[in-house]
């Protein structure tokens, strides 16, 4: 046992483990959570309370600060993150009973006060001790390393992963527990000054190595043997010379239970392999570990036979497998198994084994190999978790330690041997420690508080500990004396020596000492009355197990291995055969010394306890065996502990905590007591409630005698808590709302000023970028707009529209306002025809009502008279367009007519009399316009009735008026229908005549002086012939002034109904986006009107 530095928190686990992951669904009180508050102090009342809580799903119960844990044998969620948060930093009495509360109390005592503490976890095998120790370690891991340091996280991971390896090689299935610890483990976890784990150390005790060669019915060997058979791959098994059949290996098939429902050997093997890597085992070390496991399995299959005085091995092939796995020669293996080299007075001789001696040597060799392997694993684990000072030793000089002792619990089997004797002796020592610490703690508290102490009667098991460990007269001393005797000393002679020296001891008996006791066998068994019950031990094998004999031949064999990992496990094999060595201590004496040192180490610490109870032997989650639990409650001394705790006072608490918990009950102490000390406030509160005769006032604590007083205090507190909670909720919600409002106002103010700042910055940047645009030829159209801030992103389009309107105004300022209506129509027409038609009349002066002019129509007076008559009849306001046309009808006959476009209708008139030839066509009946891409004057006005107007415009001066008619139709349709009219430009056009679809093809011809219609080659087709003599010579296209201008924003109507997009003023030539309108009768000077051909203009003016 190594001494521990400075402060320590020790967790002691006595016996097997717990196979549950628990959780409680709610905190409703079931039974009595703290047994100190029971009305009746008796074994029956205590067990009944445990039963009620167990049936209600509550597996934890307090006895003051002692936690009693009942194994639930089912999976319940009780250890998640939410439970960790509920118990972290809280006092034990603040939350329902839980193992986390004990772990947190001990951790706080260690971290805050630098106290040496220990958590003693005890109980019989299968009651849940090992699992309880894991839960404590997981809790400590969960509440440490708040800063997330990488090294601390590595240590936590290594500490948790080490359990997988130690359980694989140190745990086994027994008849009472599927995962029973068959060794003692004491783990120190080192913490720095912040309470974070920085390393650790593991020390193992008394591995039950006899299990390697012998198991009782229903039990298994160590888990590692089954993990390698069920979990290793086929190639790995082939390399180990193994096959996946448990019954093929004698050492692991004796119990008859190769598989266990609660254990998954295949998954555990993978977990163990991963843990090896996490702890830093090298590939060679991992390989050596599993080769040793395989060699032990083969060793159990070796059989011997005798031929005269010679002993031989019947299956030499197995020897070859063993030699190959251990990296030694087969001849040396055979020799070590069948012979023994003896050195006496400097002489060396070789002795042949008998068949029984060879079998004994084989078994001893197998046990020794496994024990050395286990010690090697523990050593490597220690290397992985050792504290790494790395030049900061001063920082860890005064570190604290959590010790975890996981050791087998009290055991009573059908056949109890030397191992069970040592295990039960260990439990006797720990039970003695428990009673002494509890009494000592109570006596010291009463003395410290000035309260009179009264003696409590309890069973002191010191007499049983003396029976085992007393010098010269104890059982261990008698066994050592027998081992030292010269000559043949048998187990029967050892039992006789015990009978002679222990005669009359009331806790020891044999058949010879009690002839009437028929349960004991003559010269074979003895009984010890332990605190936990009577145990019958079989004396056979005691001397050999106590001597722990292993022939030197095996040590030299293993040392000669070519594998350095195996060779280093056996350093004593290097000694010369003739060297004289000191007789080693016996196994019993070594175990006794380690237990004395362990108990001494624990006795100087502040104790916390977890007492584990097994509710039944069937591992059922619903059975509560009253008799079985009563037996455990008795031998754990729980009722004695309860009586000590209730020795006059059921409850005690410091004045500050008592006043803080119950101050709302009294008007003099709520909400805070300012009339003196906490003791005076407590006294006022108790006197007001009328409990003066049931309490005692210590120096720092108040002691309450009966549970009824505490219940009355709790009941009064419970009535007031809901109102206090509502009040606090109201105040806190108001505070949160006010805080939120202030933050919101501050955020709005900051945001407003920030937005103003960004707006000012952007406007200053705009001012800088557009400072000289008035002097630019295109008034800044080519200027790149700076990227706007997010707050102004939605307003940039408005800024651009403002700039575009200004540009339009600047451009239009050079155009007389009398020409603006004509310009609007040209913009509308250009939007539809620019880039599609080579000439659409943009250079012409658009007068509209041409037939009213004598230049175009000699019969202008007749025309105007006819128009007045039609206006009076149909009620239109103005004439937008009139012209002579040539039309073709559904019978393919061409005729000269006049076309009249008003603000509401389209009229087809007689070319001489100008009288309507049919009813006027409403403009809303127009569905589209089709024109050709050339200079011809073909226009198709599509009507909804299925009989389109197919016309060719005629002019005395050969003017191009297709664009003018198209623009006027588009504008009027938009004004009347609030939608756009479709315009089609193409060399071949479609129309409907007489409800039949016809194709119109445009042809240019050198023959003829006027355009004409004729039938086409195909049935139903029409050909429109345009004389080339009528074509005009067009000027070359002009370049645009803003070729790389950005695309215009989405369309929006301007203030006057005509400005939108990327500028209102557009000039059109033969390419989109540019135009040059020179002196042609309707513009003054040289005005350049720029555009990109994609803007839309809507007119809402009166007359054209």
Name the residues annotated as catalytic: 125-126, 130, 177, 180-181, 409, 411
**In the structure encoding, which two tokens stand for residue 1024, read together?**
């429109």
**In the structure encoding, which two tokens stand for residue 819, read together?**
């020409």
Tell me how far apart the alpha carbons of residues 118 and 462 are, in angstroms, rounded to a whole number.
Answer: 21
- Tell me 206's DSSP state: -
End-to-end CA distance of the chain, in Å?
A: 115
Query: What one-character-per-residue DSSP string does 561-630 give?
Result: -S-HHHHTT-GGGGS-TT---PPPPPHHHHHHHHHHHHHHHHHTSEEEEEEEE---SS--SS---HHHHH
- Tell me 849's DSSP state: B
Q: Strand 7-14 to strand 400-407: parallel, antiparallel, or no bridges (unpaired)? A: parallel
Q: Which residue has the tokens 């046992």?
A: 1
Q: How many CB atoms lie within 10 A of CB 392?
A: 11
**In the structure encoding, which two tokens stand for residue 127, read together?**
């009651």
Nearest to 372 by CA among 432, 493, 430, 288: 288
**In the structure encoding, which two tokens stand for residue 907, read together?**
């009229």
Tell me how far apart the alpha carbons of residues 568 and 379 are, in angstroms, rounded to a whole number.
Answer: 12
Going edge to edge, which strands form the sheet with 1022-1027?
988-993, 996-1005, 1022-1027, 1012-1015
Spatial contact of 196 and 144, defined as CB atoms under 8 Å apart: yes
Compute CA 203 distance to the chain's CA centroid, rounded to the nearest angstrom. 35
Query: What one-character-per-residue DSSP string does 927-964 give?
Result: EEEEE-SSS--EEEEEETTS--EEEEEE-TT----HHH
CA angle 910, 916, 922 (to 5 degrees): 130
Q: Which residues pair with 69 in a beta bridge?
A: 60, 612
Helix 707-769 and helix 655-662, axial crossing angle in degrees, nearest 10: 80
CA angle 906, 910, 911 (to 5 degrees): 105
Q: Strand 347-352 to strand 701-704: parallel, antiparallel, or no bridges (unpaired)? A: unpaired
Q: Strand 926-931 to strand 982-985: parallel, antiparallel, or no bridges (unpaired)? A: parallel
Q: What beta strand segments (E) does 633-672 contain?
A: 651-654
CB-based contacts of 890, cutoff 8 Å, min separation 6: 947, 993, 994, 996
CB-based contacts of 941, cutoff 8 Å, min separation 6: 906, 926, 929, 948, 949, 951, 969
φ, ψ for residue 358 (rounded to 5)?
-65, -40
Spatial contact of 1060 and 936, defined as CB atoms under 8 Å apart: no
Tell me how far apart the alpha carbons of residues 796 and 1070 are, in angstroms, rounded to a whole number.
Answer: 32
- Cα four-point dihedral sign 248, 253, 258, 263: negative
Tell me how far apart the alpha carbons of residues 58 and 615 are, in angstroms, rounded to a whole number.
Answer: 13
Spatial contact of 963 and 983, defined as CB atoms under 8 Å apart: no
Q: How many CB atoms lie within 10 A of CB 301?
A: 15
Where is 364: in which H helix or E strand?
helix 355-385
Q: Can you tell me whether residue 295 is helix, strand or coil?
A: helix
Tell me how far apart the alpha carbons of residues 879 and 899 are, in angstroms, rounded to a whole number.
Answer: 11
Query: What one-character-per-residue DSSP string does 1021-1054 give?
Result: -EEEEEEGGGPPPPPPPPPPS-TTPPPP------
**In the structure encoding, which two tokens stand for residue 277, read together?**
């890597």
């Amino acid at each position: 046992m190594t001494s521990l530095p400075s402060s320590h928190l020790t967790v002691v686990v006595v016996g097997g483990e717990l196979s549950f992951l628990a959780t409680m669904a709610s905190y409703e009180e079931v039974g009595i959570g703290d047994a100190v508050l029971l009305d009746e102090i008796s074994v029956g009342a205590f067990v009944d309370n445990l039963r009620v809580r167990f049936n209600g799903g509550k597996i934890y119960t307090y006895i003051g600060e002692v936690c009693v844990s009942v194994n639930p044998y089912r999976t319940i969620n009780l250890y998640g993150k939410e439970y960790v948060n509920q118990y972290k930093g809280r006092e034990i009495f603040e939350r329902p009973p839980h193992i986390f509360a004990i772990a947190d109390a001990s951790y706080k005592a260690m971290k805050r006060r630098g106290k040496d503490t220990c958590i003693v976890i005890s109980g019989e095998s299968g009651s849940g001790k090992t699992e309880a120790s894991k839960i404590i370690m997981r809790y400590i891991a969960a509440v440490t390393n708040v800063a997330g340091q990488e090294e601390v996280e590595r240590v936590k991971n290594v500490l948790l992963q080490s359990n997988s390896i130690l359980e694989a090689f140190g745990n086994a299935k027994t008849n009472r527990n599927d995962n029973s610890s068959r060794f003692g483990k004491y783990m120190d976890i080192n913490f720095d000054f912040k309470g974070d784990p920085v390393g650790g150390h593991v020390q193992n005790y008394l591995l039950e190595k006899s299990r390697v060669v012998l198991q009782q019915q229903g039990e298994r060997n160590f888990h590692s043997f089954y993990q390698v058979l069920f979990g290793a791959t086929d190639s790995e098994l082939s390399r180990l010379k193994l096959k996946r059949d448990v019954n093929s290996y004698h050492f692991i098939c004796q119990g008859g239970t190769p598989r266990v429902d609660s254990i998954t050997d295949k998954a555990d093997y993978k977990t163990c392999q991963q843990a090896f890597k996490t702890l830093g085992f090298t590939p060679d070390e991992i390989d050596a570990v599993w080769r040793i496991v395989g060699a032990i399995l083969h060793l159990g299959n070796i059989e011997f036979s005798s031929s005269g005085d010679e002993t031989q091995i019947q299956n030499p092939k197995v020897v070859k497998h063993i030699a190959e796995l251990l990296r030694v020669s087969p001849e040396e293996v055979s020799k070590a198994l069948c012979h023994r080299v003896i050195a006496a007075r400097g002489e060396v001789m070789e002795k042949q084994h008998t068949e029984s001696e060879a079998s004994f040597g084989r078994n001893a060799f197998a046990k020794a190999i496994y024990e050395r392997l286990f010690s090697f694993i523990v050593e490597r684990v220690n290397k992985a978790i050792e504290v790494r000072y790395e030049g900061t030793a001063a920082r860890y000089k005064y570190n604290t330690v959590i010790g975890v002792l996981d050791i087998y619990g009290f055991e009573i089997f059908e056949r109890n041997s030397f191992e069970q004797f040592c295990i039960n002796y260990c439990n006797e020592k720990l039970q003695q420690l428990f009673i002494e610490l509890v009494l000592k703690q109570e006596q010291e508290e009463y003395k410290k508080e000035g309260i009179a102490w009264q003696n409590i009667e309890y069973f002191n098991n010191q007499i049983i500990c003396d029976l085992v460990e007393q010098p010269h007269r104890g059982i261990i001393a008698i066994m050592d004396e027998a081992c030292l005797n010269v000559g043949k000393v048998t187990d029967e002679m050892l039992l006789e020596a015990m009978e002679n020296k222990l005669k009359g001891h009331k806790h020891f008996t044999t058949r010879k000492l009690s002839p009437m006791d028929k349960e004991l066998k003559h010269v074979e068994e003895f009984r010890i009355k332990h605190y936990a019950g009577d145990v019958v031990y079989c004396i056979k094998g005691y001397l050999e197990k106590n001597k722990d004999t292993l022939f030197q031949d095996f040590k030299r064999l293993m040392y000669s291995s070519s594998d350095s990992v195996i060779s280093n496990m056996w350093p004593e094999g290097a000694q010369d055969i003739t060297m004289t060595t000191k007789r080693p201590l016996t196994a019993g004496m070594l175990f006794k010394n380690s237990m004395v040192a362990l108990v001494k180490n624990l006795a100087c610490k502040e104790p916390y306890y977890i007492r584990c109870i097994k509710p039944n032997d069937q591992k059922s989650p619903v059975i509560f065996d009253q008799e079985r639990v009563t037996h455990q409650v008795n031998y754990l001394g729980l009722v004695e502990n309860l009586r000590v705790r209730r020795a006059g006072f059921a409850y005690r608490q410091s004045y500050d905590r008592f006043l803080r918990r119950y101050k709302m009950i009294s008007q003099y102490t709520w909400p805070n007591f300012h009339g003196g000390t906490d003791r005076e406030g407590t006294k006022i509160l108790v006197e007001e409630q009328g409990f003066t005769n049931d309490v005692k006032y210590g120096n720092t604590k108040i002691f309450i005698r009966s549970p009824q007083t505490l219940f009355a205090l709790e009941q009064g507190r419970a009535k007031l808590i809901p109102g206090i909670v509502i009040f606090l909720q109201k105040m806190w919600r108001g505070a949160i709302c006010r805080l939120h409002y202030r933050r919101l106002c501050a955020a709005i103010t900051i945001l407003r000023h920030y937005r103003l700042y960004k707006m000012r910055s952007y406007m200053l940047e705009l001012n800088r970028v557009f400072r000289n645009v008035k002097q630019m030829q295109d008034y800044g159209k080519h200027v790149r707009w700076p990227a706007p801030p997010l707050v102004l992103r939605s307003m940039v389009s408005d800024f651009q529209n403002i700039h575009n309107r200004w540009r339009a105004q600047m451009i239009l300022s050079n155009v007389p306002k009398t020409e603006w209506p004509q310009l609007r129509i040209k913009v509308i027409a250009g939007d539809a025809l620019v880039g599609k038609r080579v000439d659409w009349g943009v250079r012409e002066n658009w007068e509209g009502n041409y037939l009213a002019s004598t230049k175009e129509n000699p019969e202008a007076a007749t025309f105007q008279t006819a128009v007045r008559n039609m206006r009076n009849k149909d009620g239109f306001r103005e004439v937008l367009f009139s012209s002579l046309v040539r039309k073709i009808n559904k019978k393919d006959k061409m005729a000269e007519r006049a076309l009249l476009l008003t603000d509401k209708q389209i009229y087809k008139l007689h070319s001489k009399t100008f009288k309507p030839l049919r009813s006027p066509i409403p403009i809303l009946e127009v569905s589209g316009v089709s024109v050709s891409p050339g200079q011809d004057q073909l226009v198709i006005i599509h009507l909804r009735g299925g009989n389109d107007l197919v016309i060719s415009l005629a002019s005395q001066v050969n003017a191009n008026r297709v664009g003018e008619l198209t623009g006027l139709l588009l504008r009027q349709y938009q004004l009347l229908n609030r939608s756009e009219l479709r315009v089609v430009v193409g060399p071949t056009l479609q129309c409907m005549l007489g409800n039949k679809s016809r194709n119109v093809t445009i042809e240019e011809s050198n023959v003829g002086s006027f355009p004409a219609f004729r039938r086409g080659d195909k049935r139903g087709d029409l050909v429109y012939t345009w004389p080339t003599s009528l074509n005009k010579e067009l000027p070359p296209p002009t370049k645009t002034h803003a070729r790389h201008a950005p695309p215009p924003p989405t369309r929006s109507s301007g203030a006057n109904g005509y400005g939108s997009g990327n500028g209102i003023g557009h000039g059109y030539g033969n390419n989109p986006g540019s135009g040059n309108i020179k002196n042609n009768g309707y513009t003054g000077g040289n005005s350049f009107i720029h555009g990109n051909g994609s803007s839309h203009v809507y007119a809402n003016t009166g007359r054209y």
